[in-house]
Amino acid sequence: MTIENISCNKSFGGWHKQYKHQSRVLDCEMRFAIYLPPQAAEKPVPVLYWLSGLTCTDENFMQKAGAQRMAAELGMAIVAPDTSPRGDGVPDDADKAYDLGLGAGFYLNATRAPWNRHYHMFDYVVDELPALIEAHFPVTGQRAISGHSMGGHGALVIGLSHPHRYSSISAFSPIANPMACPWGEKAFAAYLGENREHWRQYDACELLKLAVSEVPILIDQGDADTFLEQQLRPQQLVEIAGHKGYPLDFRLQPGYDHSYYFIASFIEQHLTFHSLYF
């Protein structure tokens, strides 16, 4: 697996770098960003995988969240992949809608044409990308996962599906119950077909009901988020965790919305949370 560096910037004693590579899983060229803290020059460091939301790329989080200072202090690498396959041969929504197709991979493995050739973001994040990172960079096998909105959905689903691979999970404003919201219903029907039984493996609420192994979860949600009631729906996830006694810390933050102003306000607390379990 070869990678090509396309940018490099020093930050808080470490390095923010962007790379591109040919993805076997997605059958297209992909880009990712990595922040390597200063400690990585001396020894391997653990990794937080960050999954961004609808319309985003690897750049949104790395440029807007302000995570590098705390990552440098804690000695933690951060890896941010793109949010979908890209390229001229990759299908997009016919109407160019923001919530389907390019920029909207939903971190699942599509089974329905034309999406099933390229849209395998679940396997990319779980298997191909970590193998690439661990082959090319000074990192350990310790991993945590986090994300925002669609990426919060991805972090929850991937972390709950593979509890042995991640020491902790966190999310900002996640799509917590995609089987019961317009964003999720649209994407799942397109990528997976109309059989809702096939959707359950990508719904955090359904996975939490079946969870046996416990991975600590931290969720922050703004109460002024305009997507809260219709699209995000965290209440059921919180209720399931309560019934199971699952270690989920849900914090409803007064006055905060869905933006990166919200993420930047609490990202350092999330990095500190993950560092406790490395």
Q: Which two tokens stand for residue 182?
A: 């317009």
Catalytic one among 52, 149, 168, 170?
149
140 backbone dihedrals φ, ψ, rounded to 5°: -90, 180
Catalytic residue, chosen from 84, 225, 274, 275, is: 225
Active site residue 118: no
Q: Which of 258, 270, 274, 275 is catalytic?
A: 258
Q: Catalytic site residue 225?
A: yes
Tell me how far CA of residue 126 lies from CA of 8, 248, 277, in angstroms. Answer: 25, 22, 19
Which runs of consecutive H residues, i.e. helices, occur in the chain?
58-64, 68-74, 121-123, 129-136, 150-161, 182-192, 204-210, 235-244, 260-275
Mapped onto helix, strand or coil, the DSSP state of residue 4 is strand
Nearest-angstrom CA–CA distance, 44 and 103: 31
d(CA 21, CA 111): 24
> Does 173 qualify as catalytic in the annotation?
no
Q: How far apart are CA 19 and CA 209, in angstroms?
A: 38
Give which of 209, 222, 225 is closest to 251, Cα–Cα: 222
Active site residues: 149, 225, 258
